[in-house]
Structure 1
């Protein structure tokens, strides 16, 4: 680790470095052991240098946003977490277009759009993630998806180049894009929105927030919808019909409010959560013959 620290500090001396940083502080599940090295670049140039150094030196690394779709093992991650946070969260409005950096939260992005009287991002206001992660997985809710409003995405390639791609080049589908396959890092995105009434936009965002509070277990740490929607089914309905509402392993539980959510009741471990997810998938497979695929990325040693 000392060698990693020296190598990365050499290419990005102004970045913030933390050693053995608990990932429970940086994931919405609020679980996870320490990352060997936790680094926060302040600029895209620093990110480019850090990612390039990790690739060149074959240092294991992961690009982290809000940690809303991530389950890190209890024994931690023996690698480098490159965190895109508040230093990479700029947002600019130009007419009906918005340019934003990957570290901005979707809530803040939707708020900025609303303040500018632009409609189209209301669906994203309650999604607990960053722009980078949302573009990577084509996040969506209540009938809207990122691909519906995106016009261009800036990515960092494996070769270390910053390029702009169209949504078509991004191959955005249901909870997927070209990012994982091509090993891209999303650094920024542009959106085409429409002029709207600020009060109407606020009302719609408040309406969606009320629906979330009524239907989702927001009072507990979770990673949002735990499983992808299988073709022709709803994951939460399958889990409920399997009789797993409230089913628990240790401190992890299938939410009684919404069976599509696995929650941390307060003392869950990452192993509890993963074991619960595997058991749920197995029981649904046995009862309905349907494969449930986790939306959540598992990382590190459990």
Structure 2
């Protein structure tokens, strides 16, 4: 297991010890991480991963900690936050972005470069790595539609590139989760467009999001996958669960597909409310909802 003194090898890298992850998650819940590291380059990332593996320390990599619930017991071992790895490069119609870059920022850069195809991501509060990991999407667009290739690190510490076809994308799924890969960066192939038209579409989507989603509260975004032939939010609403609250977490009154932290909620509150909603929707409709949000870490 890693020790504090091991990080003396990385004088340029920010490292926190026994750090409360609630300060970084969009839900504002989560216990502590034993070690929380913020690498700034591929070299630092590879070196700290290699050190963790040499010492048999578990590794958890997070992008922007948005579509995520960290349990109240926290995460043992090394947690790596990639937010400082956020460089974005443009070459023709191709955008190459490090994993820690925010989707919202990349969408804005694409607009400024008159590149269209990334507008759907303009309001998604996640990172490039997280979006590729789960094939994030909104308003008819998905990462799989614009992705060209991904640079990943495997469990042996080797770097390789995967094409879009090799990613085996599905609904909110990619091969990255199956093979326990770490995303370093991604390339996207976009098309030439008119900057004003692109901005107009981004404005339209952001207005839609603001009018329909509870952006004023901490949340993990959309909680459930879309069941075949249905909409999760509609099923939850029809079951009379809007406004249902457990602890400090509530099914949003604005959009039933969201759960919001309205009063110092905990991860346990989130999990209990998710289980309750699944049970009640199943009883009401026969449909079993499946969580889209990732739930990781240890229970208290």
Give the secondary structure class of the aligned counterpart of 1:151: strand
Q: 1:256 Cα deviation (Å)?
A: 1.1
2:40 to 39, 42, 45: 42
Matched residues in 2 for 1:265 and 1:8: separation?
Answer: 37
Q: Indicate the residue corresponding to 2:290 in structure 1.
A: 293
Q: Indicate the residue corresponding to 1:19 in structure 2.
A: 17
Matched residues in 2 for 1:89 and 1:284: separation?
Answer: 40
Matches within 5 A, 1:45-194: 45-86=43-84, 88-194=85-191
Q: 1:78 Cα deviation (Å)?
A: 2.0
Matched residues in 2 for 1:176 and 1:246: separation?
Answer: 29
Measured against aligned partners, the alpha-carbon deviations of 1:188-242 in whole angstroms (never above 9, x if no partner) come to: 1111111111111111000000000111111111011001111221111111111
Give the secondary structure class of the aligned counterpart of 1:259: coil
Runs (4+) of structure 1 exceeding 4 A deviation are none
User: Is the Cα–Cα contact under 8 Å of residues 9 and 15 in structure 1 kept in the other structure?
Assistant: no
Matched residues in 2 for 1:51 and 1:285: separation?
Answer: 42
Matched residues in 2 for 1:68 and 1:265: separation?
Answer: 17
Give the secondary structure class of the aligned counterpart of 1:29: coil
Matched residues in 1 for 2:251 and 2:245: separation?
Answer: 6
Q: 1:288 Cα deviation (Å)?
A: 1.8
Matched residues in 2 for 1:8 and 1:69: separation?
Answer: 29
Matched residues in 2 for 1:56 and 1:80: separation?
Answer: 12
User: Is the Cα–Cα contact under 8 Å of residues 15 and 40 in structure 1 kept in the other structure?
Assistant: yes
Matched residues in 2 for 1:180 and 1:49: separation?
Answer: 22
Q: Which moved more, 1:291-300 or 1:212-221?
A: 291-300
Q: Indicate the residue corresponding to 1:242 in structure 2.
A: 239
Measured against aligned partners, the alpha-carbon deviations of 1:9-64 in whole angstroms (never above 9, x if no partner) come to: 44x44321101111111100011121111101121111112222323322122101
Q: 1:107 Cα deviation (Å)?
A: 0.4
Matched residues in 2 for 1:164 and 1:72: separation?
Answer: 29
Matched residues in 2 for 1:277 and 1:4: separation?
Answer: 36
Q: 1:270 Cα deviation (Å)?
A: 1.3
Matched, 1:7 2:10: no
Matched residues in 1 for 2:285 and 2:53: separation?
Answer: 43
RMSD: 1.3
Equivalent residue pairs, number: 299
Q: 1:266 Cα deviation (Å)?
A: 3.1
User: Is the Cα–Cα contact under 8 Å of residues 8 and 53 in structure 1 kept in the other structure?
Assistant: no
Q: 1:8 Cα deviation (Å)?
A: 4.6
1:195 to 188, 192, 197: 192
Which runs of 5 or more residues in structure 1 are unaligned?
A: none
TM-score, structure 2 as length reference: 0.96
